[in-house]
């Protein structure tokens, strides 16, 4: 895996939060390579507006997020059973790496209550429920293997009152989300017992959703499993569904020095295929298909393996629909103030 093969050595870590951004026109070169010597600098070519953001993970923030997330892991069976079509799938406790990916998504996307969020190839992920419960945003979850069609499902609310109280973790979550979630019930009893999430069973390349339906799309350990040319066709579809200024986040981003594809009997539920990109293949297969304007933020998680040797999330990529300055003014790309 790229994250493992490129994992930085502890001695090469940078202690300070980065957000060191090499702007358009300086998307690669000796300076960046010297700054992050164990990472491939993902240069998609001179015509792609790319910002490279050195993003060491804040271990304290992440630990607080993990505590906040824990009740969902403990009660995951209740989410699993409610996902249409998933009841017979094997139970699997999400590894710590998964929680890291969800944390990094919150940071990268800057989700807020008014952000309509679509979790693509969601499988039995707990993240859509976390967003619905904690951020209070409208959420859609989608997967090829869900029961076909669209339906709104009432999921049990799993983060209990004790985790909603003003613990450090909750304060952290509120700071990250820049929003205060409603008080329990907030005068509406249904808020205490259920969160409503729309579930979509379809190919991600042809989702039964209207144009410009959402502000943010996230894929966790997913795009790399899209077979044939489904990665490029999904990119077309994502840009149809995203509103102007909206963001498409792929994490981990399996990209590095080499392009290779692997077939194994079972990577995950229904997944037998895995693709690792190099920058050129990703540009050709995915970015070249997207209508302009758009711009790209690549985050380099330079200390991931030092925080936990099991972590392999070395990169994420966020593609924003629109001009960079327009999106920065409205749906901000979070990098500059993600640790504010
Ligand atoms: C590793 S799982 C995703 C895990 C999940 N995102 C999480 O965070 O736990 C990969 C998922 O990709 C889905 N998938 C593969 N090809 C797809 C496609 N063309 N459209 C939608 N989903 C697809 C599979 O059904 C599977 O559930």
With a 6 A CB cut-off, is 269 part of the ligand 1 pocket?
yes
CA–CA separation, 131 and 96 (whole Å): 18
Report whether 143 contacts 74 (CB < 8 A).
no
Distance 15 CA to ligand 1 centre (A): 34
pLDDT at 175: 55
CA–CA separation, 92 and 339 (whole Å): 32
Distance 94 CA to ligand 1 centre (A): 14
Distance 178 CA to ligand 1 centre (A): 29
Distance 253 CA to ligand 1 centre (A): 14
With a 6 A CB cut-off, is 275 part of the ligand 1 pocket?
no
pLDDT at 164: 44
Q: Return the axis-axis angle of helices 96-109 and 59-74, rounded to nearest 10°.
A: 120
For the chain, which residues make up each domain, given as ranges? 2-11+18-329
CA–CA separation, 126 and 105 (whole Å): 13
> What are the backbone angles phi and psi of residue 258, rounded to the nearest 5°?
-130, 145
With a 6 A CB cut-off, is 100 part of the ligand 1 pocket?
no
Distance 185 CA to ligand 1 centre (A): 33
Which ligand 1 atom sits closest to the C-alpha of 125? 9
With a 6 A CB cut-off, is 118 part of the ligand 1 pocket?
no
With a 6 A CB cut-off, is 326 part of the ligand 1 pocket?
no
pLDDT at 22: 53
CATH number, domain 2-11+18-329: 3.40.50.150
CA–CA separation, 127 and 333 (whole Å): 20
With a 6 A CB cut-off, is 99 part of the ligand 1 pocket?
no
**Protein residue with its CA nearest to atom 5 in ligand 1:** 122
pLDDT at 338: 38
Tens digit of each residue's pLDDT, the chain (340 residues):
333 332 222 222 222 233 445 544 344 557 888 888 889 999 999 999 999 999 999 999 999 999 989 999 999 999 999 999 999 999 999 999 999 999 999 999 988 888 999 999 999 999 999 999 988 889 999 999 999 999 999 999 998 654 444 344 445 555 554 434 444 445 455 455 799 999 999 999 999 999 999 999 999 999 999 999 999 999 999 999 999 999 999 999 999 999 999 998 877 778 999 999 999 999 999 999 999 999 999 999 999 999 999 999 999 999 999 999 754 433 333 333 333 3
Which residues are CB-neighbours of 217 under 8 A, at least 6 positions away?
Answer: 117, 118, 119, 120, 238, 241, 242, 246, 247, 248, 249
pLDDT at 192: 59
For residue 88, give Cα distances in angstroms to 32, 80, 153, 190.
Answer: 47, 9, 18, 28
With a 6 A CB cut-off, is 268 part of the ligand 1 pocket?
yes
Question: Buried (b) or exposed (e) across 50-62, using 16+ Cβ within 10 A?
Answer: bbbbbbbbbeebb
Q: What is the pTM of this model?
A: 0.86
pLDDT at 34: 87
pLDDT at 172: 53
pLDDT at 136: 84
């Amino acid at each position: 895996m790229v994250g493992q093969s490129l994992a930085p050595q502890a001695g090469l870590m940078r202690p300070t939060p980065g957000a060191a951004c090499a702007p358009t026109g300086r998307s690669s070169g000796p300076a960046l390579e010297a700054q992050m010597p164990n990472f491939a600098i993902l240069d998609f070519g001179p015509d792609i507006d790319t910002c490279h953001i050195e993003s060491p993970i804040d271990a304290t923030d992440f630990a607080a997020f993990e505590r906040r997330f824990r009740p969902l892991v403990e009660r995951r069976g209740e989410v699993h059973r409610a996902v249409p079509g998933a009841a017979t799938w094997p139970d699997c406790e999400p590894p710590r790496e998964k929680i890291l990916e969800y944390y990094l998504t919150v940071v990268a996307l800057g989700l807020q209550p008014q952000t309509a969020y679509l979790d693509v190839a969601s499988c039995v992920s707990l993240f859509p429920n976390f967003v619905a419960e904690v951020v209070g945003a409208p959420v859609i979850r989608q997967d090829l293997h869900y029961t076909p069609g669209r339906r709104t499902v009432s999921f049990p609310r799993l983060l209990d009152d004790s985790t909603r109280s003003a613990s450090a973790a909750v304060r952290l979550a509120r700071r990250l989300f820049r929003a205060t979630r409603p008080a329990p019930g907030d005068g509406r009893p249904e808020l205490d017992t259920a969160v409503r999430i729309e579930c979509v069973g379809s190919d991600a390349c042809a989702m039964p959703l209207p144009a410009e339906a959402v502000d943010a799309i996230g894929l966790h350990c997913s795009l790399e499993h899209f077979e044939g040319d489904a990665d490029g066709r999904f990119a077309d579809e994502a840009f149809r569904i995203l509103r102007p200024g909206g963001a498409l986040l792929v994490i981990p981003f399996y990209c590095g020095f080499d392009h290779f594809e692997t077939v194994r009997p079972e990577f995950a539920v229904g997944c037998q295929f895995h693709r690792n990109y190099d920058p050129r293949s990703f540009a050709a297969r995915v970015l070249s298909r997207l209508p302009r304007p758009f711009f790209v933020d690549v985050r380099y998680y330079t200390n991931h393996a030092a925080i936990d040797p099991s972590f392999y999330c070395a990169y994420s990529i966020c593609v924003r629909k629109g001009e960079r300055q327009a999106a920065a003014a409205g749906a901000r790309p979070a990098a500059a103030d993600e640790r504010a």
